[in-house]
Amino acid sequence: MIKIDKNSVAMPDSLKLPLPVHFQNGIVPRTSKTTHNRRLELITHGSYIDEKRYNERYKRPDIKKALKDLYKEKCAFCEQRVESRHVEHYRPKKTYYWLAFSWDNLLVACPTCNEFKGTHFAINGALANFANTHAAVQAIHCSSAGYDAAELPQMVNPEVTDPRGKISFSQDGRISSNDGRFAYTSKYPPAKLGALWCEPLKAVKQVANAACQ
């Protein structure tokens, strides 16, 4: 895991709020309008709707391309370079339905990390909720920092927290940490996968340990 600067890549057009000021030519593309309509439908419904017309909105080609460039074709958690990548939600869309199409809630995960992470998202604070106001909708892409302060999530967000000096690798490629949040995050999934992850992790262990000095 490495620290990711999401500001280094422009937000995909299909995720932007449908306002002319957000687009270089002042013309709002249909993909932006459609995604926003689906977003408002979820907010009105009060929960995530597991249907194709919603599931496909956060998997648009421009979103996948932006995340591919941002994460350099690697998984956000294990850093394994993989051909098959899943657009993953840091905060699970099942609970945080209003963040299903939010740029600061999307990252890349390999199939195994995606499966093991699932909906695991323990917090030490108060669960965030969404107040359906104009201001809240306008801030939909930059709400993570505020939620983090209130919820105190146990899972590390690689776009927020720098792992340098907080993780180490054993000779067999397993991850360990004395930091509670990194110890929790390593459970989903790398530390529980045993031999399956040994070879990929060995390949990056020396680089990671050097960065953590």
Q: How far is CA 4 from CA 71, 108, 129, 143, 158, in A?
A: 7, 11, 26, 17, 6
- At residue 33, the pLDDT reads 97
Q: Read off the tokens for 135.
A: 């201001």
As a whole number of angstroms, the distance between CA 17 and CA 4 comes to 23
* CA 7 remoteness from chain centre: 14
Gyration radius (Cα) of the chain, Å: 18
Cis peptide before 18 (omega within 30 of 0): no
- At residue 165, the pLDDT reads 79
As a whole number of angstroms, the distance between CA 201 and CA 163 comes to 15
- At residue 69, the pLDDT reads 92
Q: How far is CA 184 from CA 14, 125, 126, 178, 189, in A?
A: 33, 16, 18, 10, 10
Q: Which residues make Cβ contacts (< 8 Å) with residue 156, sequence separation at least 6?
A: 1, 163, 181, 182, 184, 185
- At residue 105, the pLDDT reads 96
pLDDT by position in tens, the chain (length 213): 778 899 899 999 999 999 999 998 899 999 999 999 999 999 999 999 999 999 999 999 999 999 999 999 888 888 888 776 689 999 999 999 999 999 999 999 888 888 878 788 899 999 999 999 999 999 999 998 899 999 999 988 888 888 787 877 777 767 777 777 877 777 655 444 333 333 344 333 444 444 444
Q: Is the dihedral of CA 25, 59, 183, 2 positive or negative?
A: negative
- At residue 84, the pLDDT reads 65
Q: List the end-to-end C-alpha distance of the chain, in Å, as a whole number.
A: 15
